[in-house]
Amino acid sequence: MTGKRRALLALEDGTVFSGISCGVPGETTGEAVFNTSLTGYQEVFTDPSYAGQIVTMTMPHIGNYGVNGADMESRGVFAAGFVVRELSSMASNWRAEETLREFFVRHAVVAIEGVDTRRLTRHIREQGAMRAVLSTEDLDPASLVAKAQAAPGLVGRDLVAEVAVKEHYTWGAEMPSDCDLPVDTGVLSVSPHYRVVAYDSGVKYNILRRLAEHDCEVIVVPPTTSAEEALALEPDGIFLANGPGDPAAVDYLYRTLRELLGVKPVFGICLGHQMLSLALGAVTYKLKYGHRGGNQPVKNLLTGRVEITSQNHGFCVDFASIGPLVPELCGELTLDPTDLGAWVRAGVAPVVRSERFGPVQLTHVNLNDMTVEGVRPLEIPAFSVQYHPEAAPGPHDARYLFGAFTRLMDGCEDIFGDIFGKG
Amino acid sequence: MPRRDDIKKILLIGSGPIIIGQACEFDYSGAQACKVLREDGYEVVLVNSNPATIMTDPEFAHRTYVEPVTPSFVEKVIAVERPDALLPTLGGQTGLNVAVALAESGVLARYGVELIGATLEVIKKGEDRKLFAEAMARIGLDTPEGGYAYSIADAEELVGTVGFPTVIRPSFTMGGAGGGIAYNVEELREIVTSGLALSPVGEVLIEESVIGWKEYEMEVMRDRNDNAVIVCSIENFDAMGVHTGDSITVAPAQTLSDREYQVMRDASLAIMREIGVETGGSNVQFAVNPRDGSLAVIEMNPRVSRSSALASKATGFPIAKIAAKLAVGYTLDEIPNDITHMTPACFEPSIDYTVVKVPRWAFEKFPGTDTTLTTRMKSVGEVMAIGRTFKEAFGKAMRSLENGRAGLGADGKDVFDEDRFDHMLAVPNEQRPFYIAEALRRGRAIEELHELTHVDPWFLDQIRQMVDGERAVSGTGLAAMDAEDMREAKRMGLSDIQIAHLTGTVEAEVRTTRLGLGVRATFKSVDTCAAEFAATTPYYYKTYEDEDEVAPSDRPKAMILGAGPNRIGQGIEFDYCCVHAAYALSDMGYETIMVNCNPETVSTDYDTSDRLYFEPLTFEDVMDIVEAEKPAGVLVTFGGQTPLKLAHALEQAGVPILGTKPEAIDLAEDRKRFSGVLDRLGIAYPAAGTAYTIDEAVEVANRIGYPLLVRPSYVLGGRGMVIAYGEEYMRRYVEQAASVSPDHPVLLDRFLEGAIEVDVDAVCDGESVYIGGVMEHIEEAGIHSGDSACCVPPFSLGADTIEHIKSHARALALELGVEGLMNVQFAVKDEHVYVLEVNPRASRTVPFVSKATGVPLAKVAARVMGGEKLAEMNLPDEDRDLGRFCVKEAVMPFGRFPGTDSTLGPEMKSTGEVMGVAPDFPAAYAKSQLAIDYSLPGEGTAFISVCDRDKRSIVPVARHLVQLGFRIMSTKGTARLLRASGIAVEEVAKVHEGRPNIVDAIKNGDVQLVINTPFGRETRSDGYHIRTAAVQHGISNITTLAAAQASALAIEAMKDGRLEVIALQDFGGDV
């Protein structure tokens, strides 16, 4: 162990984990969360939704296949820090361009290895996500715990501004200036059929790649873009991206969205789903420790099929808060709209009435904890999912949703039913 | 979708005896399936010829048929039971092939039986290599280039396109049987010949070699609503070219980026859908080019497999159980996750540890065979180890193998062939991991080793770290190690024994120092979800971390030590006993703790015991668990030699041993002390002696007289044991094979030639003895008891003899102080009863005897150890008429080891066993023969060639065969004798007499039955060639007179149509 720099991770409840620094020296604060994906650490580390968080991977071996430019999910690293059990000393894969250690140094990331990450994960599971400090400089546990307690939490915090682009750009054609890597844009259409305005609240590149692959010209705009500005770009549809922080704090975005709903077809992912739900009148709440991983089972209540999904969210939508149940649109079933498990067992997608936008259907439910994973207003062209159909990392089961979006822009009624699984 | 109500009765087919490529993983999967289908209210009918399985315990199915797993016997069961459905996917390749045969011959349609789990079309598309390649092309997936050969000529033509080396894969075979890698035309012809013969459809694939590509497996499940999940990804340490059953494998996959992994996942799901597997589990194998990531599909198995058992143990996701539920109509989202209870089974397990499987070979049993690892599986068992990192898991796996090693070398037992060092790296072989470690110790570069071995650099780098860890330990020395050094050493996967070797101390000192430094093992849970949800099932592995998860409990705990990897001499039978012990002690109110490292077994199912520790059975690992759990008692006599050899050390460490004490074990194993016991009891035994030098051996031999049974002093399964008929042979053996020395004495026993061997399994509670069964062997003494057929009840012994045997057994049990199971081997010669040996522990025959008599002996023994008395148990009368004969027959793996002699002797070679049940002995024997691979011929030519000793006794056998319609063929000597007795004989030349000779006749299919009894130990002679040819052509090959007599009777029983099927549940009254 000699010659190695020690590092400590302290949680606000006083729990301290010891390990070895495997990034740059420094100190960082954030909310401690865990991700259970077995592959795709690079995509996780470059996902802007992790801004303000210190991420631990439950997979003990991290870095085995190195890092490469094509797997970047944004222009850099936004998470506050990383905690791993063992960082690979080498990169073994034909696609590898550098080791993860080199990548951490290049991106000035504070990271720690040698930690009992399972203990940390169990602790977060039992106690909930909490504020933490990761340091290679201050190795006094008491001092670190005090810093963790003084750190800001995520509730009420808007982190979107920190990660979003400042000026709009067209994916593939004119990339933003602060994007120094050669970005893998995916397959671009020469003469795209659809034009989509994508509100960037921390969008993952793979969403843009998937949209482009589905024949969309994607204009990425800052989250503060007004409805008029967006409509001036003459889009066929509006896309709302994933992003970090507390969705309720991003009120300007869902207020803008209210002006667009019913005007243009809308598709939202993750934070975008929360934006749509908030626009429809829902409230959001913080989950105890969130959903982060690539193995979350989600049931599509319209097809009855289960998708294995990629997820990364700490906040969640309360479906019943959108409005009262509409039994005539639920096969006259009058189950409790807050008990989503009951609806799953009944095989019926419940519908509630939004005061402003009319009936809203629950389309997707997480089978692990029976929380909301997708909604769809029935009278205006929009839908959204809490999980990540673009995967990266994770399974491709939900890719069909990008096809559903193009069908929505085509004016189709049945956007999910007959195309499931062919996306 | 709820369960199907239109089916009520389901037939399950087991996989039959343990053979290479098909081991007890199918008992694990079948037992799970029986259990869940029963719980769901279905009536379960089971056919499996293997008595040592848990699934054939009468309480697992409603109707249990221990009958041959062949189309004709299964058809008989169908005719009697009239099931609504047949579930063919849980009985390995054997079960699947029988189901296909029954479907194709119209039997299933005739009786209205529906195939569930996989339809005929699915099975054929998955298993027929040509249909499979076409299906892959339709969904745009690559398969290695190749074509299908139905003859040698086809193969030679195809190889012109694909080039050498080429991989030969027969359709519809298992474990790569009949396949291989050919580097030249000669090898091609040889492998294609055997492949065509072994493929039931006479088809082999001649395939472009992707040797050196990375190999992966995906375990996939799909339900009838098209929900599909990947349960586990497995990466092979050994690159393409080594059968996955012979490869070291790692879960989860380690060197794939998410993009590559998802491509493989998409391909796996597309394959499930294209092949049409609607319900259940499948295994898909891929090859990945390490240079550019290109992907090729190698094969898929539309059934539960060895890998799915491994994946179940590796993740906690019970594939077989869920496959059975899917087959009856449930969907994945309706089935709860067994371990979390809160979440559904419709998800993909995430694991936060590393799993390594290492195969266990037994080449030492098959001298003369090629030990190179190829596409033909040769291992007889495997171990699995779990650690947080690959290093921890690999180190554990390497000390779990029960081969005397304490890890990946650095244990004082490293021996390297310097002249062939690089050859041992380049050519896959059993020793290769040790050579890799040594090469890294010698400072050779990872890149160079990767070029030589094709092992991924990441794995090599992990081993480099392990080796660096060794260097750090030896550099520091035990005394100077601080807590952090010690913890780091343990995290590198080093065992206490390795640390002791590296620091020049002993294991006990390392343990004391380690605990003194406060470096204690911690235990973590296997929970399917990487700690995302709370787990309720205590399934643990050991690691060195901060937090320990062992849940406290205040019930008294009983800890059962398992049997480790399957190997020849120690297989499923001991696992069966451990499982029964767990059941019985649980019934008595104990909290049961199982410790084992064999992923194929029922004992390592988290459902079997209250707590499962997936750990090596070494002193260090067991003691760490003892310290964590503080059991009231440890059971060491159920898992064979593996736990028994720990008994002394555990007792000395103050661990309470339940049942027979180590002292009693010692008394039975120490030959001098044991002779004293026998003398005291007035029981006869063959004259014997121990020799520490050659001269002593000669002296003892002269005193006792020849023939002699000679063996090293510490053996399992008759390892290295021979019969010496003269001094020259004895000298050579003692000098070379046994390498006698003061540390390694040899034992010499008078060999009772021509004696009848008898086994007894009994339970003693210290006050009384219950004789579970008396087994009369069919082969005479001299054949290892594990390899010989035997019958319960005895079919030829007189009542007086049986009484003598029983009273000797009783006296011995009480005198030795046995508390629990005991096995005694007797030899009966000229009405005299001799004791050969006593083993005060569970024996290989316990499951067979239990099944034959209906008395679960292992459970009875466990209850005794738990404090109950036999008198309280209401056991049935020992002497009752069973109303049936049960014959156990051993199954030999010679077909897998071309070049080795197939003669039976005192060294055990069988991998498994079958049981035949019938109202009379001949019919039971016939069934036992039909249940193994070789079928009994009903007509044709019987070749008879016997040694002088057997010449007189063979005449009635030959006459019997003639009466049954056989023609007789013999070599000169035997022919003369038979003619003299008035039997018509066709004479055939011996091998050395020129051609055509007997081997030509066998190869030409002119011989249907071979009776060839060897004398002494000849190898490269006629007998060897005849037996080898018979094995290769699947002809019944009888090597003892007694078996010849029994076979003639069996053929008669078969021809008379006396082989009716009988369910165990119909033997009323004796359980």
pLDDT tens string B113-153:
999 999 999 999 988 888 999 999 999 999 998 889 999 99
Q: Tokens for A14, please give them.
A: 């006083």
Q: What is the mean pLDDT of residues A145-163?
A: 94
pLDDT at B1071 (0 to 100): 39
Q: What is the mean pLDDT of residues B845-852?
A: 96
pLDDT at B715 (0 to 100): 60
DSSP state of B174: S
Contact assignment for B342 to A368 by CB distance below 8 Å: yes
Angle at which helices B92-104 and B71-81 cross, to 10°: 70
- Of B775, B767, B772, B762, the closest CA to residue B802 belongs to B775
Residue A38 has its nearest CB partner, among B252, B292, B344, at B252
Identify the closest residue of chain A to B265 by CA–CA distance. A395
Identify the closest residue of chain A to B289 by CA–CA distance. A94
Would you place residue A3 in the very low, low, confident or very high pLDDT band (cuts 50, 70, 90)?
A: low
Would you place residue B952 in the very low, low, confident or very high pLDDT band (cuts 50, 70, 90)?
A: confident
Partners of A132 in beta bridges: A11, A30
Partners of B299 in beta bridges: B285
pLDDT at B174 (0 to 100): 74
pLDDT at B1020 (0 to 100): 47
Name which residue leads in pLDDT, B111 or B20. B111
pLDDT at A419 (0 to 100): 42
Would you place residue B486 in the very low, low, confident or very high pLDDT band (cuts 50, 70, 90)?
A: very high
pLDDT at B465 (0 to 100): 98
pLDDT at A175 (0 to 100): 79
Distance in angstroms (rounded) separating the CA atoms of residues B964 and A33: 78
**What confidence tens digit (pLDDT) does each residue in B311-338 have?**
999 999 999 999 999 999 999 999 999 8
Would you place residue B1019 in the very low, low, confident or very high pLDDT band (cuts 50, 70, 90)?
A: very low
Q: Is B858 helix (H, G, I), strand (E, B) or coil?
A: helix
pLDDT at B353 (0 to 100): 98
C-beta separation of B179 from B173 below 8 A: yes
Distance in angstroms (rounded) separating the CA atoms of residues B843 and B786: 10
Q: Is the pLDDT of residue B1070 over 50?
A: no
**What confidence tens digit (pLDDT) does each residue in B819-837 have?**
999 999 999 998 899 999 9
Whether A86 is a known active-site residue: answer: no
Conformation bin of residue B1034: beta by default, left when phi > 0, alpha when psi is -120 to 50 = left
Q: Is the pLDDT of residue B623 over 50?
A: yes
Would you place residue A178 in the very low, low, confident or very high pLDDT band (cuts 50, 70, 90)?
A: low
Taking contacts as CB-CB distances below 8 angstroms, the residues of chain A near B531 are 34, 58, 118, 121-122, 125
Would you place residue B738 in the very low, low, confident or very high pLDDT band (cuts 50, 70, 90)?
A: low
Distance in angstroms (rounded) separating the CA atoms of residues B464 and B709: 46
Q: Is the pLDDT of residue B266 over 90?
A: yes
Q: Tokens for A326, please give them.
A: 């509409």
Q: Is the pLDDT of residue B431 over 70?
A: yes
Q: Is the pLDDT of residue B934 over 60?
A: no
Whether A388 is a known active-site residue: answer: yes
**Residue A239, CA atoms < 13 Å, CB-side half-sphere:** 31
Residue for token pair 């019938």: B918
Pairing of strands B295-301, B228-236: unpaired
Conformation bin of residue B1057: beta by default, left when phi > 0, alpha when psi is -120 to 50 = left
Would you place residue B768 in the very low, low, confident or very high pLDDT band (cuts 50, 70, 90)?
A: very high
Q: Tokens for B810, please give them.
A: 């009783």
Q: Is the pLDDT of residue B960 over 70?
A: yes
Q: Is the pLDDT of residue B73 over 80?
A: yes
Share the mean pLDDT of chain B: 92
Q: What is the mean pLDDT of residues B77-99?
A: 95
Among the ranges given (A167-176, B209-218, B223-232, B855-864), the one the predictor scored with the smallest mean pLDDT:
A167-176
**What confidence tens digit (pLDDT) does each residue in B507-538 have?**
999 999 999 999 999 999 999 999 999 998 99
pLDDT at A423 (0 to 100): 33
Residue for token pair 């091998």: B991
- Of B279, B278, B270, B302, the closest CA to residue B123 belongs to B302
C-beta separation of B238 from B428 below 8 A: yes
Residue B241 to chain A, least CA–CA distance (Å) = 20
**What confidence tens digit (pLDDT) does each residue in A35-54 have?**
999 999 999 999 999 999 99
Would you place residue A176 in the very low, low, confident or very high pLDDT band (cuts 50, 70, 90)?
A: confident
Distance in angstroms (rounded) separating the CA atoms of residues A195 and A211: 10
Contact assignment for B262 to A395 by CB distance below 8 Å: yes
pLDDT at A252 (0 to 100): 97
Q: Is the pLDDT of residue A418 over 70?
A: no
Q: Is the pLDDT of residue B1068 over 90?
A: no
Q: What is the mean pLDDT of residues B174-178?
A: 78
Among the ranges given (B339-353, B640-654, B932-946), the one the predictor scored with the smallest mean pLDDT:
B932-946
Taking contacts as CB-CB distances below 8 angstroms, the residues of chain B near A9 are none
Cα A164 to Cα A47, A198, A212, A241, B184, distances in angstroms: 12, 11, 19, 10, 63
Pick the catalytic residue from A214, A273, A364, A388: A388
Q: What percent of chain B has pLDDT over 70?
A: 98
Q: What is the mean pLDDT of residues B183-210?
A: 89
Would you place residue B893 in the very low, low, confident or very high pLDDT band (cuts 50, 70, 90)?
A: confident
Cα B256 to Cα A91, A365, A396, A399, B463, distances in angstroms: 11, 30, 16, 21, 19
DSSP state of B350: B
Would you place residue A415 in the very low, low, confident or very high pLDDT band (cuts 50, 70, 90)?
A: confident
Q: Tokens for B242, please give them.
A: 């080594």
Q: What is the mean pLDDT of residues B542-551?
A: 96
- Of B905, B1067, B826, B764, the closest CA to residue B365 belongs to B905
**What confidence tens digit (pLDDT) does each residue in B703-713 have?**
999 888 888 87
Mutate to test the interface with B, among A17, A68, A306 (most CBs of B within 10 A): A306
Taking contacts as CB-CB distances below 8 angstroms, the residues of chain B near A93 are 255-257, 260
Q: What is the mean pLDDT of residues A298-312?
A: 95
On whether the pTM is more than 0.90, the answer is yes
Q: What percent of chain B has pLDDT over 90?
A: 75
Would you place residue A397 in the very low, low, confident or very high pLDDT band (cuts 50, 70, 90)?
A: very high
Contact assignment for A93 to B257 by CB distance below 8 Å: yes
Cα B218 to Cα A295, B131, B283, B375, B529, distances in angstroms: 15, 20, 6, 19, 18
φ, ψ (nearest 5 deg) of residue B388: -65, -40
Angle at which helices A251-260 and A271-280 cross, to 10°: 70
Q: What angle do CA A213, A238, A407 make, to 5 degrees?
A: 55
Q: Is the pLDDT of residue A192 over 90?
A: yes
Would you place residue B716 in the very low, low, confident or very high pLDDT band (cuts 50, 70, 90)?
A: low
What contacts B29, CB < 8 A, 6 or more positions away?
A: B90, B304, B308, B309, B319, B320, B323
Please state the separation of Cα B483 from the chain's center in Å: 41
pLDDT at A420 (0 to 100): 40
Distance in angstroms (rounded) separating the CA atoms of residues B138 and B145: 15
C-beta separation of A235 from A195 below 8 A: yes
Taking contacts as CB-CB distances below 8 angstroms, the residues of chain A near B260 are 93, 95
> What value does the CA radius of gyration of chain A take, rounded to a whole number of Å?
21
pLDDT at A398 (0 to 100): 96
pLDDT at B784 (0 to 100): 86
Taking contacts as CB-CB distances below 8 angstroms, the residues of chain A near B350 are 36-38, 58-59, 293-295
Contact assignment for B545 to A119 by CB distance below 8 Å: yes
Q: Residue B220 is which amino acid?
A: V
Q: Is A180 helix (H, G, I), strand (E, B) or coil?
A: coil
- Of B384, B348, B390, the closest CA to residue B528 belongs to B348
Distance in angstroms (rounded) separating the CA atoms of residues B505 and B479: 10
**What confidence tens digit (pLDDT) does each residue in B627-654 have?**
999 999 999 999 999 999 999 999 999 9
Whether A390 is a known active-site residue: answer: yes
Between chain A and chain B, the number of residue pairs with CB atoms below 8 A apart is 173
pLDDT at A20 (0 to 100): 97
Q: Is B680 helix (H, G, I), strand (E, B) or coil?
A: helix
Pick the catalytic residue from A270, A273, A291, A307: A270
DSSP string for B922-953? HHHHHHHHHHSSSPPPSSEEEEEE--HHHHHH
Q: Is B991 helix (H, G, I), strand (E, B) or coil?
A: helix
Distance in angstroms (rounded) separating the CA atoms of residues A296 and B529: 10
**What confidence tens digit (pLDDT) does each residue in B1025-1041 have?**
887 788 777 788 888 88
Contact assignment for A293 to B532 by CB distance below 8 Å: yes
